[in-house]
Amino acid sequence: MPYLIKLYPDNCYLISDEEGDIAATDSRHEAIKNGLFYDFESADDTAQNFSGGMTRGIDYFIESVSSDPYHVVQITIPVEIAPRLKDIDKFIVNHKAQVFLTNKTTANDAMDGFTRYGVSTGANAVLLKSAHYEKSKAEIENYLNERFRNQWEIELIPVRY
């Protein structure tokens, strides 16, 4: 699994520049592109060599990075059956409402082993990795069939960082 080094007080990332020297960048995207370490120990050694004595967990963090991005689950439904949601007009394209799957699970539901879904215009949108979506796909589709019959389409939209 790849790792990034994030300097806490400066809110920046350590990367290798073109000459192989260690530099800092404010861009997470650039850090993922140029600054990944493929084992935890080499990331920690690099941070220690760069800093000259910073403390991991206080002065810097080593965070894991997954190549599988998170996705929001966008649901497209006909306007006629769209629920009344705040600012829904902004999410209507070609007479179809584009809403997002949300998690409406209460603490009691969770304790009982239930997951409750809903839809919104983005508030509390569910973020899933592809593997987690595949595990929950049948449950999500069951909810959508109960709520909107067969008049829905799902699209997973990757979240940019």
pLDDT the model gives residue 2: 84
Closest among 119, 22, 4 to 67, alpha carbons compared? 4
- Give the C-alpha separation, 78 to 72, whole Å: 19
Q: Which residue has the tokens 């073109």?
A: 18
Q: Dump pLDDT digits (tens) for 121-144.
A: 988 899 998 888 999 999 999 999
Output the pLDDT for position 77: 93
pTM score? 0.62
CA-angle at 141, arms to 136 and 147, nearest 5°: 130
Give the span between the Cα atoms of 125 and 142, in whole angstroms. Answer: 18
Structure confidence at residue 161 as a pLDDT band (50, 70, 90)? low
Beta-carbon-side half-sphere exposure of residue 18 (alpha carbons within 13 Å): 0
Q: Provide the pLDDT for residue 18.
A: 67
Q: What is the pLDDT of residue 142?
A: 95
Average pLDDT over residues 73-89: 89
Q: How confident is the model at residue 83 (pLDDT cuts 50, 70, 90)?
A: confident
